[in-house]
C-alpha cells in the first residue's frame, strides 16, 4: 500500500483490519453476512445501502421501515439495525470510513430518490468511487475522500427536501436502547440491567420493542450478541472459550447453549461449516 491510499477505519482488536470504504453489490454483501441479515447487529463504521430493485424492510434504531426501488438507507456507526429483502433485489452497499468531515448525518436516514436525475447522480458517484478504488495511482487517497464526500452531499440534498422528523418519547427511548445495546452487548448485561440504565422497567421496554419491531427487547439483545459471536468465529482464530468470555458469558457451556439455540449449530460446527 502507498501512503496516499485511504486510511483504515478503527476496528475492534478482535476483528481483522479492513480498509474502508468498501463497495460491493447487495448480493455480495448478503452472501458475506456472518448470520441472517434480519437479525440485529451494529457496525463500528457507517454503511449506505442503495436499493435499485426489489422491496424489503429495514429495522433501524428499533423502528421498521419499508423500502423499494431507488431508496437509500444510511446507517451511522453503533446503530442497531437489520434488513430483509424480497423479490430478487438489486443494489449496492458502501461500507464507509469513520470520517466526521465527510458530512454524513449523525442519525440514520432513509430517503427515496424520486427523480431520474437523483438516481443517476448516486449511481454515477458509486461507480466513480468503485473505479477509483480499483487501481493504484497518484492522488488516490484524496480522490476517494472526494467521492465519499460527494455521496454525503447527495444524501444531504435529498434529506433537505424532506420534512424534519420529530421523534416521540417512545421512539427516543427505543433509539437510546438501540445505542446502548450496540455498544454494550459485550458487557454481559441482562435486559433488566439495560432497562434500569434507561430508567424504565423491562416490561415497559419489551412492550415498546414488541409493538415497534415485533420482537421482545431480550431477543434484540441476544441477536446482537450472537452476531458478534458469528463474526468472531468466522473472521478470527480465537478459541470458543475466549470468544465467550469477551461477550460476557459466564461459561463456554452457557455460550454454546445460547449460540446453538439461535443458529441451530454449536460454535465449532458453525465455524467449520461457514469457513
The pLDDT, as a whole number, for residue 217 is 97
Contact in structure between 2 and 57 (CB atoms under 8 Å): no
Rounded Cα–Cα distance for residues 272 and 275 (Å) = 5
CATH of 169-274, one of 3.40.250.10, 1.10.10.60, 3.40.50.970, 1.10.3210.10: 1.10.10.60
Give, in degrees to the nearest 5, the angle at Cα 65 between 63 and 67: 155
Q: According to the model, what pLDDT value does residue 263 have?
A: 95
Separation between Cα atoms, residue 181 and residue 41, nearest integer Å: 9
Domain positions in the chain are 22-160, 169-274
pLDDT digits (tens, 9 = 90+) for 56-91: 999 999 999 999 999 999 999 999 999 999 989 999
Mind listing the pLDDT tens digit for each residue in 184-197?
999 999 999 999 99
pLDDT by residue for the chain (275 residues), tens only, comes to 333 333 333 334 444 445 789 999 999 999 999 999 999 999 999 999 999 999 999 999 999 999 999 999 999 999 999 999 998 999 999 999 999 899 999 999 999 999 999 999 999 999 999 999 998 899 999 999 999 999 999 999 999 988 877 889 999 999 999 999 999 999 999 999 999 999 999 999 999 999 999 999 999 999 999 999 999 999 999 999 999 999 999 999 999 999 999 999 999 999 999 87
Complete DSSP assignment for 90-115:
EEEEEEPP--GGG---SS-EEEE--S
pLDDT at 16: 45
pTM tops 0.75: yes
User: What dotted CATH number matches 22-160?
Assistant: 2.60.120.280
The residues that bridge with 88 in the sheet, in sequence order, are none
CB-CB neighbours of 170 under 10 Å: 14
Amino acid at each position: 500500500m502507498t501512503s496516499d491510499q485511504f486510511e483504515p477505519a478503527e476496528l475492534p482488536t478482535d476483528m481483522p483490519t479492513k480498509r474502508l470504504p468498501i463497495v460491493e453489490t447487495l448480493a455480495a454483501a448478503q452472501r458475506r453476512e456472518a448470520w441472517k441479515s434480519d437479525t440485529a447487529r451494529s457496525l463500528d463504521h457507517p454503511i449506505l445501502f442503495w436499493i435499485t430493485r426489489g422491496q424489503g424492510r429495514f429495522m433501524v434504531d428499533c423502528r421498521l421501515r419499508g423500502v423499494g426501488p431507488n431508496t437509500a438507507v444510511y446507517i451511522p456507526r453503533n446503530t442497531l439495525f437489520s434488513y430483509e429483502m424480497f423479490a430478487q433485489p438489486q443494489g449496492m452497499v458502501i461500507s464507509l470510513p469513520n470520517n466526521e468531515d465527510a458530512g454524513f448525518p449523525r442519525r440514520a436516514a432513509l430517503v427515496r430518490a424520486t427523480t431520474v436525475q437523483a438516481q443517476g447522480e448516486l449511481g454515477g458517484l458509486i461507480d466513480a468511487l468503485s473505479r477509483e478504488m480499483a487501481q493504484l495511482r497518484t492522488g488516490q487517497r484524496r480522490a476517494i475522500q472526494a467521492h465519499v464526500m460527494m455521496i454525503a452531499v447527495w444524501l444531504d440534498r435529498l434529506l433537505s427536501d424532506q420534512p424534519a422528523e420529530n421523534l416521540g418519547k417512545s421512539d427516543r427511548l427505543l433509539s437510546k436502547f438501540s445505542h446502548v445495546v450496540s455498544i454494550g452487548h459485550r458487557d454481559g448485561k441482562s435486559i433488566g440491567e439495560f432497562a434500569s440504565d434507561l430508567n424504565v422497567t423491562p416490561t415497559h421496554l419489551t412492550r415498546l420493542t414488541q409493538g415497534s419491531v415485533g420482537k421482545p427487547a431480550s431477543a434484540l439483545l441476544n441477536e446482537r450478541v450472537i452476531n458478534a459471536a458469528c463474526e468472531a468465529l468466522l473472521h478470527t482464530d480465537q478459541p470458543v472459550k475466549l470468544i465467550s468470555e469477551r461477550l460476557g458469558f459466564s461459561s463456554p457451556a452457557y455460550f454454546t447453549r445460547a449460540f446453538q439455540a439461535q443458529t441451530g449449530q454449536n460454535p465449532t460446527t458453525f465455524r467449520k461449516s461457514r469457513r
